[in-house]
Amino acid sequence: MKHLFKGIAVGAALLSAQPALSADRELLNTSYDIARELFASYNEVFKEHWQEKTGETVEIKQSHAGSSKQAQAIIQGLKADVATFNQVTDINILHDRGGLIPENWADRLPNNSSPYYSTMAFLVREGNPKNIQNWDDLVREDVDLVMPNPKTSGNARYTYLAALGYAQETYGDDQEKIDQFMSDLLSRVKVFDSGGRGATTTFVERGIGDVLLTFESEVLNIADRFDNGEYQPVTPKVSFLAEFPVTWIDDYVEQNGTQELAKEYLEYLYSEEAQRLLAGFNYRVHNDVVKEENADRFPALQLKTIDEIAGGWENAMETHFASGGKLDQLQRRR
Amino acid sequence: MASQQHRVGDTPWIRRTLIASALILTMLMLVIPLVVIFAQALSSGWATFAENIGNEYTLHAIGLTLFVAALTVPLNLVFGTSLAWLVTRFRFPGRKLLITLIDIPFAVSPVVAGLLYLLLYGRNGWVGSWLTEYDIQLMFSWPGIVMVTVFVTCPFVARELIPLMQQQGTEEEEAGVVLGASGWRIFRRITLPNIKWALIYGVVLTNARAVGEFGAVSVVSGNIRGQTNTLPLHVELLYQDYNIVGAFASASLLAAIAILTLVAKAFVEWRQSRPEHPAPEKGGV
């Protein structure tokens, strides 16, 4: 029994020995799973900014998991002040099923409440041996592709939509040709992983495939990490606008008394300082000065929105990714 | 006796093949992975290892994990003992059903267990929506983690005790009653000494599972770093961050706990197999 109490005492001591004791304010940011380092850096910048502005110190807690899981957790009572996701649909759910934010949440901050964005790009092996330049190179018989599964991964849905955008641009109203192109592309995929990180592992660690299809930010990250040019990024001429939406969660910030803090936390993402930091993490940003500085890393391209390609997210999910939808039909064609 | 009798496969080369394949499988499936954990954890040297363990979030994860185990183990110790006592010392309708129900946490996948708790105690859950009105938050904070851990580990102690207590029967305790001892005294002087080692064995298993539980905790934790991230969740998080050394450093702590558990388990099994009161060798009337 004595040991037991000792154990509890030690545990409690360890728990309470954490920081947070000293901060005046606290904020909980729920985010997608690969954004940890990004927000670890941004939080330092923001803490300084908030202290300069108000004199208060602030402790920012981070929660990271897949953004659909995070949305579920918030609906079930995870009292997050802000959500910084990589899927617009996952924020919509907070309104549709949770009633926690107003329907027009996207209009509350500039650029559709997406302070940074990315697009879908290709990663090829050293010297680009298969000479991959654009989407039509991907359907050649000698090219093997690696991407996650559009059924389970948002990342892969983006790639699917980006390819669809290219096909629509190229073939216009010829639905048969568009379908053929999409079906050819899917049939070139050698491995469908369940998530984006898994696909990266397949391509990099297992050495499978000629082209990895994923976010431009991930493509640039990998190219940077292997400094020796083992991998090269290729940005196609047409691609998809992948937004990274943010919102404060009205019901919870009211309960937590963090309205101003949460709002400022998100608004400051649009500041020049934060935008430069985001660009450093290989995301595309809106600030003109920072854009200019990074012009060579982010080549100009034609970005199509979800509305142009599939008439909005709801429609896209229903027509393309639902069971028996377009994706299933295309995969059955061969 | 006929100890020279030949059994099927009792030729030297079959025996050797069997032993060799068992050894190779054990090496491939158990020993090498375990060694790899420690090798990876130390692959960048002791300094990096210490730095990763000394990280503020890792320390918190260790603290939280120990804290959860420190609450779970005593709760399940009391629960398991009472339950075993109840079903082996009393006859009542529904007793068999109760013994079967104890195994539910073993039969249910931990993820499902986590979801059940979330649906019940979450903001929109039956109980949860009522608790929310009183501003009581169980899920996505440490009470929720303790709740699911207790659920997942609750059969261990009872499962260890029930067969033993059934086998031992009630005679000694009945003698105690006849001699006028109180219930508590009977438990302390007769029952407890008899079940001591099985009880410790159950506790060791409970503790190992409580420390290592991932699935159920992952659902109700909310993954808040430095607040609700337990050690197994922390390992996954570090791994996804490409911090391989950090992930393996934390994993090596879990592996060390597992090895300690095995040592404790082996010791308890050894004690259990030794008769507590060796039968008198001679002169017993």
Percent of chain B with pLDDT over 70: 93
- Rounding to the nearest 10 degrees, give the CA dihedral for residues B120, B123, B127, B132: 160
Indicate the fold that domain A20-115+243-293 takes in CATH: D-Maltodextrin-Binding Protein; domain 2 (3.40.190)
pLDDT given at position A198? 81
What is the band of B5 on the pLDDT scale with cuts at 50, 70, 90? low
Cβ distance A7 to B118 less than 8 Å, yes or no, reads no
As a whole number of angstroms, the distance between CA A248 and CA A27 comes to: 11
Q: Is B194 exposed, middle or buried (0-12, 13-18, 19+ CB in 10 A)?
A: middle
pLDDT given at position A200? 86
Mean pLDDT, chain B, whole residue set: 87
pLDDT given at position A196? 79
Nearest to B140 among A14, A33, A78 (CB): A78
Q: Single out the residue of B274, B266, B249, B241 nearest to residue B51, CA to CA.
A: B249
B273 or A271: which leads in pLDDT = A271
Q: Is B217 exposed, middle or buried (0-12, 13-18, 19+ CB in 10 A)?
A: buried
As a whole number of angstroms, the distance between CA A229 and CA B22 comes to: 45
Nearest to B222 among A10, A33, A78 (CB): A78
Cβ distance A64 to B226 less than 8 Å, yes or no, reads no
| Residue-wise pLDDT tens digits, A113-151 | 999 999 999 999 999 999 999 999 999 999 999 998 888
Cβ distance B70 to A4 less than 8 Å, yes or no, reads yes
Task: Output the six-digit token pair for A249.
Answer: 């969660």
Q: Is the pLDDT of residue A223 over 80?
A: yes
Q: Is A167 left (phi over 0), alpha (psi -120 to 50) or beta?
A: alpha
What is the band of B284 on the pLDDT scale with cuts at 50, 70, 90? very low
| Residue-wise pLDDT tens digits, B8-58 | 667 888 889 999 999 999 999 889 998 999 998 998 889 999 999 999 999
Q: Is the ipTM of this complex over 0.90?
A: no
B240 in contact with chain A, both atoms CB, cutoff 8 A: yes
Which residues contact residue B28 at a Cβ distance below 8 angstroms, ignoring those fewer than 6 apart? none
Task: Output the six-digit token pair for A72.
Answer: 């579920």
Cβ distance B70 to A64 less than 8 Å, yes or no, reads no
Contacts of A36 in chain B (CB under 8 A): 237, 241
Q: CA-based Rg of chain B, rounded to a whole angstrom?
A: 24
- Amino acid code (one letter) for A104: N
Q: Is the pLDDT of residue B169 over 80?
A: yes
Contact A39, A86 (CB under 8 A): no
pLDDT given at position B279? 47
pLDDT given at position A65? 83
- Give the torsion sign (CA, A75, A78, A80, A86): negative
Q: Is the pLDDT of residue A152 over 50?
A: yes
Q: Per-residue DSSP letters for A101-156?
A: S-TTGGGGSHHHH-SEEE-EEEEEETT-TT---SGGGGGSTT--EEEE-TTT-HHH
SS3 A65: coil
Task: Output the six-digit token pair for B76.
Answer: 């399940």
As a whole number of angstroms, the distance between CA B227 and CA A80 comes to: 13
Cβ distance B67 to A61 less than 8 Å, yes or no, reads no
What is the band of A244 on the pLDDT scale with cuts at 50, 70, 90? very high
Residue of B241, B243, B244, B257 to mutate for A, most A C-beta atoms under 10 A: B241
Residue of A5, A8, A14 to mutate for B, most B C-beta atoms under 10 A: A14
SS3 A248: strand
Contact A258, A272 (CB under 8 A): no
pLDDT given at position A19? 45
Q: Which of residues 272-301 of A touch B (CB under 8 A)?
A: none
Q: What residues form DSSP beta bridges with A192? A: A147
Task: Output the six-digit token pair for B139.
Answer: 């899920």
Average pLDDT over residues A172-201: 89
Task: Give helix A154-171 / helix A175-187 axis angle, nearest 10°.
Answer: 140
Q: Which of residues 162-201 of A touch B (CB under 8 A)?
A: 197
B177 or B5: which leads in pLDDT = B177
C-alpha pair distances (Å), A2 with each of A6, A275, B68, B157: 6, 55, 17, 20
Contacts 24+ apart (CB under 8 A), B80-84: B80/B154, B80/B155, B80/B156, B80/B157, B80/B158, B80/B159, B80/B160, B80/B161, B80/B202, B80/B206, B81/B157, B81/B158, B81/B161, B81/B195, B81/B199, B83/B158, B84/B157, B84/B158, B84/B161, B84/B162, B84/B165, B84/B195
pLDDT given at position B228? 92
As a whole number of angstroms, the distance between CA A254 and CA B147 comes to: 28
pLDDT given at position B6? 65
pLDDT given at position A48? 95
As a whole number of angstroms, the distance between CA B285 and CA B277 comes to: 17
- Give the torsion sign (CA, B143, B144, B146, B147): positive
Q: What residues form DSSP beta bridges with A63? A: A30, B224
pLDDT given at position B134? 86
Nearest to A62 among B69, B140, B225 (CB): B225
Fold agreement (A20-115+243-293, A120-240+301-332) = yes
B15 in contact with chain A, both atoms CB, cutoff 8 A: no
As a whole number of angstroms, the distance between CA B259 and CA B263 comes to: 6
pLDDT given at position A197? 78
Q: What is the DSSP code (8-state) at residue A299?
A: -
pLDDT given at position A17? 44
Superfamily of structural domain B48-273:
MetI-like (1.10.3720.10)
Cβ distance B56 to A18 less than 8 Å, yes or no, reads yes
| Residue-wise pLDDT tens digits, B78-120 | 999 999 999 998 889 999 999 999 999 999 999 999 999 999 9
Q: Kindly report the CA angle at B85 between B79 and B88, in degrees rounded to 5?
A: 135
Q: Single out the residue of B263, B70, B189, B117 nearest to residue A15, CA to CA.
A: B70
For chain A, the domains span 20-115+243-293, 120-240+301-332
B62 in contact with chain A, both atoms CB, cutoff 8 A: yes
| Residue-wise pLDDT tens digits, A12-57 | 545 544 444 568 899 999 998 778 889 999 999 999 999 999 999 9
Indicate the fold that domain A120-240+301-332 takes in CATH: D-Maltodextrin-Binding Protein; domain 2 (3.40.190)
A283-300 burial: b if 16+ Cβ within 10 Å, else e = bbbebeebeeebeeebee
- Within 10 angstroms of residue B109's Cβ, the number of other Cβ atoms is 10
Nearest to B223 among A65, A76, A77 (CB): A65
Cβ distance A78 to B71 less than 8 Å, yes or no, reads no
Q: Is the pLDDT of residue B75 over 90?
A: yes
B188 in contact with chain A, both atoms CB, cutoff 8 A: no
What is the band of B125 on the pLDDT scale with cuts at 50, 70, 90? confident
pLDDT given at position A145? 95
Contacts of A65 in chain B (CB under 8 A): 223
Contact A139, A188 (CB under 8 A): yes
What is the band of A225 on the pLDDT scale with cuts at 50, 70, 90? confident
Contact A59, A19 (CB under 8 A): yes
